[in-house]
Amino acid sequence: MPSIEDKWIRHLFGRAGFGATPAEILSANGKDYQAIVDSLLGAPVDQDLLPLDLEDKNKQGIAPLQAWWIHRMTDGVNPVLERMILFWHNHFTSAISKVGRPLLMEWQYDLFRKHALGNFRDLAKAVTRDPAMLIWLDGRSNVKKAPNENYAREFMELFSLGIGNYNETDVREAARAFTGLRLDQNYNATFVKSLHDDGTKTILGQTGNFDGDQFIDLVLSKPAALQFLARKFLVNFVIPNPSDQVVNKYAQLLKQLNFEIKPFLRAILTSNEFLSDSAYRSLIKSPVDYVVQLIRSVPSTVSDQDSAYTVKLLGQDLFNSPNVAGWPGGPAWLNATTMLGRFNFVERVVNQCDIAKLFPDNNIVDRALQLAGIPDASAETLNSFAAYSNLPSSNDKTRQQQHLKEVLHLAFSAPEALMK
């Protein structure tokens, strides 16, 4: 695939990671697009950044872990991996509000990190035994004499098939298949054979002595599972409302790839659908998208704790999903309160950065738009910068710095800067 214009490099970095800095755009300029994609997908897995004291973290609640993850997103060497961990975090949801122990949320993060670009089948089976998930959806209390249906229901409805592709009998029978998983005193998942229902079950039209793993294999053999997961990827990485035809195309590809995520994501990122005008800036940035791109593009003294807390205030409380369905995303991210919150955070970052260093020449509007990732802003947006094209007198350094801050704030507040 030949080299590609900057517009699509920004598009790629914004969807596969958390936006591109001007330096990253310059580095990618003129390179083969497929090579850029492969470089992103093949980035090294960095070692722990800002290691945390687990005992201290449990005492302080989830906030240190949230700040730690924001740091990984902003300073880590593998943004695609962190993006995929965030994707799975909002797919196989759980929340500290019920799980109760930050350490278990970190274990779940590590599980997603291990399987993020691996095989979905392996991930689904691993999540079933995840301690946080066993608490979140009551799997640890699912026993032969009193099956708990929560995990079985949500696995089919929200994790694999979607509403309309199973019935209540399937839920009851699948719950029996998942019986027997418990947590020991150290919160490690264990299987207690005496608590497992090993009887015959009829699920999704098939009869057998299914256990949890066999049930997952059965579910993933259904066309609805392929379509469900393909649609989830397309909605998150390509376009808000993919057509059934496009969904079916990628469902077939997922089947051919046997649920291998990395080649599936590579196919999406290099597709005509992804590199289309209808996909470009069609998705609203989540609070994580907005905050992380800002602090990557505008280095400042704003702390990871402040950034993570801002993400929470804007509606994306990491490690604390609002419900089993996760964050709905899209237009739900934007309202009068969250818009004001975004712009207030821009002001804090701009006021705590080395503003003069960010503007090496007098092309201040162009530079501000580059930093915000919107050098191709609309004519209407450009008109709002008309009064900022020229710096005030060089004799007034304070006024000059304030002028640059206002330009940068305006760029990150533009309508295009809210999209990716």
As a whole number, the mean pLDDT across the chain is 94
* Nearby residues of 351 by Cβ (< 8 Å), 6 or more positions away: 405
Burial pattern 70-104, b for ≥16 Cβ within 10 A else e, equals: bbbbbebebbbbbbbbbbbbbbbbbbbeebebbbb
Q: What is the pLDDT of residues 224-280, one digit of tens each?
A: 999 999 999 999 999 999 999 999 999 999 999 999 999 999 999 999 999 999 999
Is 80 exceeded by the pLDDT of residue 3? no
Mean per-residue pLDDT, 192-215: 98
Mean per-residue pLDDT, 358-374: 94
Are 330 and 284 in contact by the 8 Å Cβ rule? The answer is yes
Tokens 């060089």, located at residue: 394
Cα 154 vs. chain centroid, distance in angstroms?
20
Q: Please tell me the predicted confidence (pLDDT) of residue 2.
A: 45
Of 92, 116, 113, 96, residue with least CA distance to 105: 96
Confidence of residue 362 (pLDDT cuts 50, 70, 90): confident
Are 266 and 12 in contact by the 8 Å Cβ rule? The answer is no
Mean per-residue pLDDT, 47-72: 73
Is 80 exceeded by the pLDDT of residue 213? yes
First and final C-alpha spacing in the chain: 23
Q: Please tell me the predicted confidence (pLDDT) of residue 1.
A: 40
pTM of the predicted model as reported, rounded to 2 decimal places: 0.96
Q: What is the pLDDT of residues 126-144, one digit of tens each?
A: 999 999 999 999 999 999 9
Of 72, 70, 142, 84, residue with least CA distance to 112: 84
Q: What is the pLDDT of residues 267-311, one digit of tens each?
A: 999 999 999 999 999 999 999 999 999 999 999 999 999 999 999
**H or E stretch including 164?**
none
> Of the given ranges (14-18, 273-277, 367-371, 385-389), which has the lowest mean pLDDT?
385-389
DSSP letters along 223-272, please?
HHHHHHHHHHHHHHHT-SS--HHHHHHHHHHHHHTTTBHHHHHHHHHTST
Q: Please tell me the predicted confidence (pLDDT) of residue 57.
A: 52
Q: What is the pLDDT of residues 155-164, one digit of tens each?
A: 999 999 999 9
**364-371 vs 397-412: helix axis angle to the nearest 10?**
40
**102-115 vs 79-89: helix axis angle to the nearest 10?**
120
